[in-house]
Amino acid sequence: MTPLQGSANTSQHSNRWLAQALVLIVGLLIIVGGIVAVLLLSGKDPASALNLFLQGSLGDATQRSLVVMRGLPILLAASGLLLTFSAGLWNIGIEGQMMFGAIFATIIARSVGNDTSGWIALALELILAAIGGALWALVAGVLKTKGRVNEIFGGVALNFIASNIALYILDGPWKYGARQQTAPFNAPALLPLVPDSGALSLPGIVIAIAGFVLVYLILKRSRWGLQLRAMGHSQRSAFLLGVRTERNVLLAMMACGALGGIGGALQILSPDPVSKGYLFPDSSGGIGFLALLVVLLANYQAAWVPLISLFFSLVPVGMLNLQTQIGLDPTLGRVFEEALVFIVVLANGAAARARHTMGEPD
């Protein structure tokens, strides 16, 4: 894996950033070409389709606010993953950690009455969400450090368990009427909206950006971030140079889980139409997996993550308009997103290989 650059070598850093920009642009062009081809083959006008797509995603304030708000959980989860990836950990369990964050936030959210203070409710929800995500990540971390279970396998198993726990709760103790869901949360439990802005919620945005900035600073400026990067390159050497690797594996997993957990809470705590405002079985909605793709697409470079997170939330919003207007299946958007990831990962791999054959270190 190509780990994050330290700020110690800034010139190399900007070169890498530019190289990644080039790869992304070329990848995007290939994807756009593919989309145009599909549209032409199905007898639709690409220009008007693009217009509909942009109208649907960026055309008015409501749509734009939808893109931003749906990007926040992705950004939080991807920020967390930057930490684990830097340490050489593939935290596939992020999806389950988001689900646990949502479940833990619900503990508070479903008991918030209409006369409760919104700020206190929100603070408690998010703190519990962070704890829930961190605990579920800690399980994967302990399995790895004490049980020698690879975090990928542990993560996959824990994802299943998390989603089954959610099913059990929603079918049993928290069941609302005949449906597999909790009762809709009362307004004070939800993120407060900026008036007349569509779906925008200032606290949500602030929290997500703060999470990302914190991760960025940790990786570039903190000793712990440097330790994580050293572990990502060589756990063995880092250990002998004095890094407490086992402890750091647990801490990195928990930090990632906490950020993912908060992302999971945002997934259920926004008022309609961003989210439903109650807990349901698929509350994490594959956002954790999407965040993994975001980090892959960014080639582990933190600076790219916010932009790509927004892009990943923009595509489905825009595709929805294409569906209603010209009947294009919205899953096509996902297909192209994932094809883009594939192309970019391939390009990064090829670049690393080229550097390797030219005798330069990766």
Partner 1 sequence: MDVQISHIVKTFGKVRANDDISMTFQSGHIYAVLGENGAGKSTLMKILSGFQPPDSGQIVLDGQPVVFASPADALRVGIGMLHQDVLDVPGMTVLDNFILARGTHLLPDRHRARVELSQQADKLGFDLNPDAYVDSLTIGERQQLELVRLLSLGAKVLILDEPTTGISTDQKEVLFNSLRRLAHTESVTVILVSHKLEDVNALCDSVVVLRQGQVTGSADMPSPTATLIEMMFGKDLPRSGQRPGKHAHKGLNTVLSVKALSVPGRRVSLKDVYLDVERGEVVGLAGLDGSGQRGLLRACAGLEAPTAGWLYLEGRDVTHLNYHDRVGLGVAYTPAGRLEEGLVAGLTLTEHVALVSDRGTWVHWNAARHEAKDKIEHYSIRGTSESRVETLSGGNQQRALMALLPQNLKLLLLESPTRGLDVESARWVWRQLLARREQGAAIIFISPDLDEIIEYSDRVVVFFGGRATLIDDPSKTSMAELGRLIGGVQS
* Nearest distance in Å: CB 236, partner 1: 5
CB of 355 to partner 1, least distance (A): 12
Q: Please, which residue, 41 or 223, has the CB nearer to partner 1?
A: 223
- Report the residue number, 97 or 227, with the smaller CB distance to partner 1: 227
Exposure b/e, 213-228, CB count within 10 A at least 16 = b: eebbebbbeeebbbbb
User: Of the two residues 4 and 199, which places its CB atom closer to partner 1 in the complex?
Assistant: 4
Residue number with CB closer to partner 1 (6 or 46):
6
- Return d(Cα 96, Cα 164) in angstroms, integer: 10
Task: State how far the Cα of 161 lies from the Cα of 172, in Å rounded to an integer.
Answer: 16
- Strand partners for 179: 176
Residue 220 Cβ vs partner 1, minimum distance, rounded to whole Å = 9
Whose Cβ is closer to partner 1: residue 20's or residue 245's? Answer: 245
- Return the number of the residue (224 or 342) whose C-beta is nearest partner 1: 224
How many Cα atoms sit within 13 Å of 37 on the Cβ side?
7
What is the closest distance, in whole angstroms, from the C-beta atom of residue 77 to partner 1 in the complex? Answer: 25
Residues 6+ apart with CB under 8 A from 254: 134, 137, 138, 141
Count of beta carbons in the 10 Å neighbourhood of residue 39: 20
For partner 1, give the closer residue by CB, 227 or 309.
Answer: 227
Minimal distance, residue 83 CB to partner 1, in Å: 15
- Structure tokens that stand for 40 in this block: 């032409």
Residue 266 corresponds to which tokens in the numbers above? 């945002």
In whole angstroms, what separates CA 182 from the centre of its chain?
Answer: 24
Close Cβ partners of 31 (under 8 Å, ≥ 6 residues apart): 336, 339, 340, 343
Instruction: State the residues that interact with partner 1 by CB under 8 A.
Output: 3, 6-9, 12, 221-224, 226-227, 229-230, 233-234, 236-244, 361-362
CA distance 289 to 141: 18
Give the pair of three-digit tokens for residue 243. 């890094």
Least separation, in Å, of the C-beta of 226 and partner 1?
6
- Least spacing, CB of residue 148 vs partner 1, in Å: 16
